[in-house]
Structures are given as structure tokens and as C-alpha cells.
A and B are shown apart, each in its own frame.
Chain A
Amino acid sequence: MSGLASASGAPNPWLTAAAWRGLFRDRPMIPLLGLLAVLVVISDLVRPGIVSPEWVSVILRAAVLLAILAGCQTLTMLTGGIDLSVGAVASMSGFVVASFAAGAGTPTGIVVALVAAALAGFVTGIGVGVFRVHPLIMTLGMSFVILGLANVWQLQSVVTSTGVPPAFRWLGSQAFADVVPFSLLVFLPVAGLILVGLKVTGYGRLLYAIGDNPVAARLSGARSWQVLVVLYVVSALLAAVAGFLYSGYTNVASVTLVDSAVLPSVAAAVIGGTSILGGRGGYGGTIVGTLILTVISSLLSSLGYPEAVRQILFGTIIVAVAAAYTRVTGEA
């Protein structure tokens, strides 16, 4: 659109608007970071002095958890899919580790949880990639299966909230000098892997290719089923890691702990500029989207608004941002 406007002459009154659109379309990070900055400023204006290193630390601790789950959504959405099983996988993983902590030990628990998550992701990937089941249905069905099996496991091994291993509590809820959260130790490598993986590796390019045009990707020799199987395994492993951190953050081991974070994780990816239709987006935007959502919810709770208002604003913002994206990218 910007090309059209600039081609039709310099004194075009639409030029500035078109330039803005171009910026929004090609560098969505800039307006997103602007929005984040505005939100931080508003937070400080509303509650003077609230923006401090400690505040940043609190925001980061909450955002890291959501950002990992939003990473699962970003990766799957790039291929035109979605992963609604992240909540079940993450809760199951946190719970399994807690149930092993007292007996066989935390390392065993982590291995068992990761294997279980990878297995769930493998089944999902086979369903989506080989049998071409709609990802929405496949991950939804898998979340029923995982929740049910986790419940069965729960009856086998009775666990109380103290079952969360101390290492997880330290990782999830403590911070270096009370400022730098330890969960960054997990998050930074994960985020680095996703960012580099999407930008530099051939596998990342395959994800974009499959989401952008599955037929063209297939004709160019991409074996999309293999890509998708790996993708859903990776997504489930990420969800498992997020589950470990969640159980440490809340000090709760429950088979439904992370369920309420599924929809916000999709929302964070959407706000970050990843298209649910596939082929467009990236993890950088998702991280900023997660920070925006976390700052908004902290702002609203510091203003004393009830959870209800927070939810309503959440929803409104998602629609508004998604509508803005659709407008500037011209995607129907």
C-alpha cells in the first residue's frame, strides 16, 4: 500500500499515513515497544514510584511463564496451526515432577515428565502432520487425554502442594538480589533458541514456508509431516518446561494449574503480530506481546480493578490490535 502511495507522487497527503502503515507492517516491533513504553509510563503516572527494579522483577517473573507458552503458540501458529494442549501438558509435567520429588527424586521426575510431554507432542504431530487432523481438534482432544491420564496418575500418587521440588521454587519465584529473576536462566536460552532457530536455520524457514503456502512448500520438496511432528514435539517440550516454572512460581502442583494460561498465550502471540493463518510473525513480537499483557494486568490490579474488568480489557485489546494488524497487512 505504501508503494502505491509513494509512486503516485511526493505531495500525496496520504504519504505519512502510508509510511506509518509500512512501519507497522514491516517493523511491528516498533509500535509494540511504543505501546509497552506508554503502558509503563501510565503505570508510573497512576501509581507514582511503582516502576522500580523490584516491579520490573515481578513483571518479568510473571511474563517469563507466559512467554514460554506463547512461544509454543507462535511456532505452531506460523504453520497455520494452534496448540491448545499446552495447558494440559504443562500442568501434567509440573505435577509429575512433584509426584516424583519425594520418592524417586526430582531428576527422575523431570525425565519422566519430559518423555511424557514428548510422547504427547509426537502423537499430536502424527495426527496433524500425517493424518491431517485440524490442529485445533487434535490438540483439544489430546488435552482431554492428557488431563484424564494425569488425573489417573494423581489418584495413584497423592501429592500435596509441598511436593514441588525446592529447585523449581527457587527457579520460579526467587530472584538474584531480589531483582533479576532466576527463571531467566531457563528463559533466555529457550528464547535464544527459538529466535535463532526461526531466523537462521532451515527448519525455521520451513515453518514459515508451510504456513505461508503448504502446497508450494510441498512442491519445493519440504516433507511437511516431518516438520510438523518435530514442531509439536518441540511445542510440548516447551510447555513442559513452562509447567516446571509454573509449579515453582505458584508452589502448587495440580493437574489443571496452567489451564487458565492457554488463552492468554494465544493472545500474546496474536498481539505480537503472529498471524493465526500462518506464515507471518516471530518470537520477538510475542515476547513484547507477553510483556504488554503482563503490564496491563499488573496495572489494572494495582488500580484495584476486579479481575472482571481486566478480562474485558484483555479481550478488547486483542480484538483492537488484531484488527489493526489486519488493516495494515491487508490480510482478509
Chain B
Amino acid sequence: MSALSGTVDTARARPADALAAWTRRNAWDLGLVGFLVGLLVFTKLIQPSYGVPGVQGLAISVLPLALAAVAQAIVVLSGGIDLSLGSMMALVNVVAATQMQGQSEEFGVAVVLGALLLGLALGAVNGSLIVLTRVPDIVVTLAMSFVWAGFALLVLPTPGGGSAKWLPELVTGSLGNEWIPKAAVVLIIVIALIWIPVRRSWLGLSLYAIGSNRLAAFRSGVSVGRTRILAYTLMGLFAALGGLSLTASTGIGIPVPGPYTLLSVAAVVLGGVSLAGGRGSVFGPILAVIILQLIRTDMTFLDVDTNLATVLQGLILIGLELIGSLVQIRASRA
């Protein structure tokens, strides 16, 4: 997170200032963490039996959506949006499930690698179409959501297929301490292995640059078209991981796209990533996903209609965006 080199130098000089600057930069994420902690305490209060099974269930149910949120966040940070994310996840999900069915465990590893390559390819196709045709990204990805969902139905007309045994085992249960669900570990490893190196490289910097000001980025020598394509490619990789996590959690392939596209956009906004691009991180959206899921759980504990949870989700989305816009309007007037 400290890739803004200018602030890093002063940071070393005065630790207190550095801490203050870091807090300011990550105020939204810290707020989300605080809210999440409060929510967990609240959950424990209303349901004293909430414990290990609850946390593990939460982690597994959150994993596909968290990966989708990261995927969407990467594209939104670069100033784009992808409405075909859910269809991509469904396509990868069914391809993995049909190829793994009845095959050996070792073959499953090859299938997983192939599925990740497929995700990269799908993302690259989206990005290339946007850059080459110069059609607005919303239109292209909306159209591609039909295409990928169609291919998913061609691959597998009805839910079915299977999964290698090790894939579900990778995300269910806990590792070491029973309070550490494997799904969370998988998520952390994936982020640490893929996103953090990218974020710290030239690609991460140019990604934020084209998101915050495309013209300025171009004039500073960033290859805008190439960076956009790479952003979508990277999104495809995370979409593939999301699709694989669906295969892992259900054990089968489902050719109908889940609600992941719209929920990922919601999570990105709640996670403090500006839809205009260039501001935010992937951690906010992950926290937002966990919070949204936990609110749902809490509402079942409180015996509130789950439909009201949907209402609340929409209200939170609108409300946060309202506050965000108000702050921006205030700032632009000042």
C-alpha cells in the first residue's frame, strides 16, 4: 500500500506522521474493519452459540464473491467496469466441472491450471475488444456477458459435472487453529501471490495512473491501451479463481451465472473504490463482501425476513454512495 513513493520518504523520517498519513489513506478500509469487528461482536451477542462453524461457513460462502469483488475492483481501479464477470465465472465453473468429472486427482490439477489460463484468455478478449473497437466498456462487457453465458450453456446445458476430491478439501475445514478457515487462507494466499506483486510493479502503478487520469498517464509514457487490456486479463484470472471456488464449494458446474456481477459492483462501491477509477484498493471490497454476508446471517439470527436483508443491501449501497457524492460535492465547492 506504500507505493506512493513521495510519502514513503517522509514516512521514514517521522513515524508518527507516517502513521497519521497511512491512517488517512486507509481511512475507509479501517472504518470497514471497525464496522466488521462491531458486527462480529453484535453477532456474538445476539447468537451466543456463533462460533467456529459460523466463521467457517462465512468464509466458504464469502470466497466466490470475494474473488469476484477483487476481480471487479482491479478493472474499476483502472477506470473500467466489467458486467460479464458473473458469466465468466459460470463458464470457468462449468468447464472445470465437466473436465474433472470422472478423472484422476492429478488430472484435476491440470484442469485447474487450464481453467486459470481460460480465465486469462476471457479477460484478454474483453479488454482487447474494448481497446480495439473503442466501444464504451459497459456496452462491450454487457454484450460479452451474453456470449460467455451462452458458451457456458453450450458446455453444460444442465447443472452437473464433478470435481476432483482435493478441490473442495482445499476450501473446507480449517488449517492449524480451528478459528482459521481454509477458505480465508486460500484467499489470502491468492491475493499475496497475485495482486500484491502486481500492485508493487510498474503494472500496478500504471493501472492506478490510467484510472485516475488517462490523459496524464498517456503523457507520462504509460501505454494506456496495453494497461487496460492487462487490467481485464488480470480480472479474468480472478474471475477464473472465483469460478473454480464455485466448483469447489458446490462440487458441480452450474451454467447459469449467479448474481456475482451486480454484487461485485456493489461490493466495490461499498469497499471505497471510486467508480471513476484510480482510488481505493482490493481490500475494501473484500471487507465489504464479508460485511454484507454477515448482515445477512445476522438477519436470519434476528428472525428478520431475508428479503429485508436484500432491501438493506440496496439501501446501504445507495446510502454510502450518497454520502460519498455529498463529500465530493462539498469538496469541489470548498
Asked if B262 and A316 make an inter-chain contact with CB atoms under 8 angstroms apart, the answer reads no
Asked if A155 and B307 make an inter-chain contact with CB atoms under 8 angstroms apart, the answer reads yes
Q: What are the residues of chain A within 8 A of B275 when measuring CB–CB?
A: 134, 136-137
Q: What are the residues of chain A within 8 A of B149 when measuring CB–CB?
A: 311
Shortest distance from the beta carbon of B42 to any chain A beta carbon, whole Å: 21
Q: How far is the CA of A222 from the CA of B305 in the complex (A)?
A: 44
Say whether, besides A137-B275, A140-B265, A323-B135, A308 and B154 are in contact (CB < 8 Å): yes
Residue of B nearest to A325 (CB): B135
Interface pick from A41-49, A61-69, A109-117, A125-133: A125-133
Residues of A within 8 A of B (CB-CB), count: 48
Asked if A151 and B310 make an inter-chain contact with CB atoms under 8 angstroms apart, the answer reads yes
Asked if B142 and A266 make an inter-chain contact with CB atoms under 8 angstroms apart, the answer reads yes
Asked if B150 and A141 make an inter-chain contact with CB atoms under 8 angstroms apart, the answer reads no
Q: What are the residues of chain B within 8 A of A306 when measuring CB–CB?
A: 153-154, 157
Q: How far is the CA of A143 from the CA of B317 in the complex (A)?
A: 11
Q: Mark B202-242, 1 if CB is under 8 A from A, else 0.
A: 00000000000000000000000000000000000000000
Shortest distance from the beta carbon of A124 to any chain B beta carbon, whole Å: 9
For window 246-284 of A, CB contacts with B under 8 Å fall at 263, 266-267, 270, 276-277
Say whether, besides A263-B145, A308-B151, A315-B143, A147 and B136 are in contact (CB < 8 Å): no
Shortest distance from the beta carbon of B259 to any chain A beta carbon, whole Å: 10
Partner among A142, A149, A316 whose Cβ is within 8 Å of the Cβ of B318: A142
Q: How far is the CA of A326 from the CA of B140 in the complex (A)?
A: 12
Shortest distance from the beta carbon of A74 to any chain B beta carbon, whole Å: 14
Q: Mark B313-334, 1 if CB is under 8 A from A, else 0.
A: 1110110011001101100000
Asked if A277 and B308 make an inter-chain contact with CB atoms under 8 angstroms apart, the answer reads no
Asked if B329 and A132 make an inter-chain contact with CB atoms under 8 angstroms apart, the answer reads yes
Asked if B308 and A148 make an inter-chain contact with CB atoms under 8 angstroms apart, the answer reads yes
Residue of B nearest to A84 (CB): B262
Say whether, besides A134-B275, A141-B266, A309-B154, A263 and B146 are in contact (CB < 8 Å): yes
Interface centre among B153, B314, B328 (most CB of A within 10 A): B314
At the interface, yes or no: A152 with Cβ under 8 Å from chain B? yes
Asked if B145 and A315 make an inter-chain contact with CB atoms under 8 angstroms apart, the answer reads yes
Q: How far is the CA of A127 from the CA of B321 in the complex (A)?
A: 9
At the interface, yes or no: B191 with Cβ under 8 Å from chain A? no
Residue of B nearest to A145 (CB): B314
Q: How far is the CA of A313 from the CA of B144 in the complex (A)?
A: 10
Asked if B322 and A133 make an inter-chain contact with CB atoms under 8 angstroms apart, the answer reads yes
Q: How far is the CA of A14 from the CA of B266 in the complex (A)?
A: 48
Q: How far is the CA of A296 from the CA of B26 in the complex (A)?
A: 50
Asked if A133 and B321 make an inter-chain contact with CB atoms under 8 angstroms apart, the answer reads yes
Residues of B contacting A: mostly: helix
Asked if A322 and B143 make an inter-chain contact with CB atoms under 8 angstroms apart, the answer reads yes
Residues of A contacting B: mostly: helix
Q: What are the residues of chain A within 8 A of B326 when measuring CB–CB?
A: 131
Q: How far is the CA of A183 from the CA of B285 in the complex (A)?
A: 45
Q: What are the residues of chain A within 8 A of B313 when measuring CB–CB?
A: 144, 148
Asked if A141 and B153 make an inter-chain contact with CB atoms under 8 angstroms apart, the answer reads no
At the interface, yes or no: A314 with Cβ under 8 Å from chain B? yes
Partner among B136, B147, B308, B321 whose Cβ is within 8 Å of the Cβ of A311: B147
Q: How far is the CA of A133 from the CA of B324 in the complex (A)?
A: 9
Asked if A267 and B143 make an inter-chain contact with CB atoms under 8 angstroms apart, the answer reads yes
Asked if A308 and B310 make an inter-chain contact with CB atoms under 8 angstroms apart, the answer reads no
At the interface, yes or no: B133 with Cβ under 8 Å from chain A? yes
Shortest distance from the beta carbon of A306 to any chain B beta carbon, whole Å: 7
Q: How far is the CA of A84 from the CA of B142 in the complex (A)?
A: 12
Q: What are the residues of chain B within 8 A of A82 when measuring CB–CB?
A: 138
Q: What are the residues of chain B within 8 A of A312 when measuring CB–CB?
A: 146-147, 150-151, 154
Shortest distance from the beta carbon of A218 to any chain B beta carbon, whole Å: 14
At the interface, yes or no: B11 with Cβ under 8 Å from chain A? no
Q: What are the residues of chain A within 8 A of B144 when measuring CB–CB?
A: 315, 319
Residue of B nearest to A144 (CB): B314
Say whether, besides A312-B146, A319-B143, A141 and B329 are in contact (CB < 8 Å): no
Partner among A307, A318, A326, A332 whose Cβ is within 8 Å of the Cβ of B153: A307
Q: What are the residues of chain A within 8 A of B81 when measuring CB–CB?
A: 136
Asked if B157 and A308 make an inter-chain contact with CB atoms under 8 angstroms apart, the answer reads yes
Asked if A326 and B135 make an inter-chain contact with CB atoms under 8 angstroms apart, the answer reads yes
Q: How far is the CA of A60 from the CA of B150 in the complex (A)?
A: 25
Residue of A nearest to B151 (CB): A312
Asked if A141 and B133 make an inter-chain contact with CB atoms under 8 angstroms apart, the answer reads no
Q: List 29 A-B contacts (CB under 8 A).
A: A82-B138, A132-B329, A133-B321, A137-B269, A137-B275, A140-B317, A141-B315, A141-B318, A143-B314, A144-B266, A144-B317, A145-B315, A148-B310, A149-B307, A267-B142, A276-B139, A306-B153, A307-B150, A308-B152, A308-B157, A310-B150, A311-B147, A311-B149, A312-B151, A319-B129, A319-B139, A322-B140, A326-B133, A331-B134
**Which residues of B are at the interface with A, using a C-beta cutoff of 8 A?**
81, 129, 133-136, 138-140, 142-147, 149-154, 157, 262, 265-266, 269, 275, 305, 307-315, 317-318, 321-322, 325-326, 328-329
7 new A-B contacts, CB < 8 A, other than A136-B138, A152-B308, A315-B145, are: A138-B318, A145-B314, A145-B315, A148-B313, A149-B307, A263-B145, A323-B134
